[in-house]
């Protein structure tokens, strides 16, 4: 089954970005939404995004304002935004041959020691969409004091493409 079919089976719809022109990360300075070098696609920072009123989804710090379950959902929504960026960059999710790695930043209280449980929201969705051979890559999860606009989760993802 293709990644596109799995996405539909999960009942998920990709966010549409229109050639990167409306990549929300540009609000935070000069950057491209992605960069392709040979068979590697590098995504700029991705988050869960905002609601219809422009409010950050799941704002705050894990262990203080945000539960592990909410953080997991923020990471899952971030993965969906990553999938949209991948599709925008290469045209088709079925061109992905591997998730190389993700570097995940979790805004958290100083005593929070479970950033890996939050980052699993991202990894789990990638595995559900691409399968275990393609969708599971290397991963690092780092607790940080804060992220822009009070996001609780942000990731950088590197993807192998054909």
**Phi/psi of residue 57, nearest 5 degrees:** -80, 130
Per-residue model confidence (pLDDT) at position 19: 52
Side-chain half-sphere CA neighbours of 117 within 13 A: 12
Beta partners for 103? Answer: 140, 156
User: Which CATH number is associated with domain 37-49+56-161?
Assistant: 3.30.1330.40
For β-strands 40-43 and 138-144, DSSP reports them as unpaired
Q: Quote the pTM value.
A: 0.93
Q: In this model, does residue 18 exceed pLDDT 90?
A: no
- pLDDT tens track for 32-76: 889 999 999 999 999 999 888 989 999 999 999 999 999 999 999
User: Given its phi and psi angles, is residue 77 left (phi above 0), alpha (psi -120 to 50 degrees) or beta?
Assistant: alpha
Per-residue model confidence (pLDDT) at position 1: 86
Per-residue model confidence (pLDDT) at position 27: 63
Pick 49 or 104 by higher pLDDT: 104
């Amino acid at each position: 089954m293709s990644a596109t079919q799995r996405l539909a089976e999960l009942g998920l719809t990709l966010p549409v970005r229109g050639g990167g022109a409306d990549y929300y990360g540009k609000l935070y300075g000069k950057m491209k939404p992605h960069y392709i070098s040979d068979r590697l696609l590098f995504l700029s920072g991705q988050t869960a995004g905002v609601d219809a009123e422009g409010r950050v989804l799941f704002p705050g710090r894990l262990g203080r304002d945000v539960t592990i379950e909410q953080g997991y959902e923020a990471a899952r929504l971030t993965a969906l935004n990553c999938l949209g960026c991948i599709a925008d960059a290469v045209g088709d999710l079925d061109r992905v041959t591997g998730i190389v790695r993700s570097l995940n930043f979790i805004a958290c209280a100083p005593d929070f020691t479970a950033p890996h449980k939050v980052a699993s929201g991202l990894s789990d969705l990638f595995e559900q969409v691409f399968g275990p051979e393609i969708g599971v890559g290397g991963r690092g999860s780092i607790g940080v004091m804060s992220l822009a606009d009070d996001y609780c989760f942000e990731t950088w993802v590197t993807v192998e493409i054909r």
